Amino acid sequence: MSDLDTNTRDRLVSVAQGVSGACPVVGPILSEAIGQLIPNQRLDRVVSFLKTLEEDFANLQSRLDCIERNSATPEGLDILEEGMLQAARSVSKDRQKWLAAIVGSSLSSESLKYEESRKLLNLYRELADPELIWLIYISEPQTLSSPYHQKLMEQYPDVLHPASRSYGRSQEEADRSALQDGYKNTLLRLGLATLKQNSQTLEISALGRLLFRYISDGGAGKES
């Protein structure tokens, strides 16, 4: 084994131990799997993701037995592995938060819905951050002066503020308009949104609403 391989293995062990100490709820459950599943690069993002997952699990004390049971299955480990692999590529805090919600909702359910969770994780991987923001935006019916939509537009103005389509618009506005169309077309292509009848306005589909429930506060996939 080369020095590089040795250093990498040592670093993985160190990260596993660090997560176990930093995340007292989820750490002991997951630390043994980290050495096998964690990617060799961008470890800081994975640790950040696991800390977010820890915060979610800390509010689910009554479901720790479900988390432990599901995490010990091949299906649960696959969900965790996919979550960590995506976390290694997740730059924004929002993306890590939503990803942790999907994984947390999956692993804390009474009965792990593996096929459902895997499908949603695959869809999540396909979506850019602006497309996720648009999914969240259309999750509520759009009404005049809606506080829900106004808050999101203030939070993500570059993504949600309508781009100009007028004649003589700047190249910047033309580019922004093209990107917004691209974001919406991706939601349509993946079956996460539909067009309202006789309209170009997006509305969330049943599949889109399922994904939204997983990434929203409170999660989904949990039987009540």
How does pLDDT run across 1-58, given as a tens digit for each residue?
Answer: 444 344 444 555 565 556 556 666 666 666 655 555 554 446 677 778 878 887 777 6
Residue 135 lies in a domain: yes
Answer with the one of 125, 149, 166 that is the final residue of a domain: 125
Write the single-letter amino acid at 127: L
Please state, in angstroms and rounded to a whole number, the distance separating the CA atoms of residues 22 and 159: 35
SS3 state at 157: helix
Q: For 82-113, what is each residue's pLDDT tens digit?
A: 998 898 888 898 999 999 999 988 988 888 99
Residues 93, 150, single domain; the answer is no
pLDDT at 188: 96
Residue 13 lies in a domain: yes
> Residue 64: which pLDDT band, with cuts at 50, 70 and 90?
confident
Residues 137, 73, single domain; the answer is no
Q: Say if residues 100 and 121 touch (Cβ distance below 8 Å).
A: no
Answer with the one of 106, 125, 144 that is the final residue of a domain: 125
Q: How many CB atoms lie within 10 A of CB 66?
A: 19
Counting the structural domains of the chain, the total is 2
Residues 48, 119, single domain; the answer is yes
CA distances from 137 to 105, 150, 158, 204, 209 (A): 21, 10, 14, 9, 11
- What pTM, to 2 d.p., does this model score? 0.75
Kindly report which listed range (30-39, 136-145, 158-167) carries the lowest average pLDDT score: 30-39
Look up the domain containing 204 and give its range.
130-212
- Region 167-172: mean pLDDT is 79
Beta-ladder partners of 24:
none
Residues 95, 136, single domain; the answer is no
Cα-to-chain-centroid distance, residue 224: 22
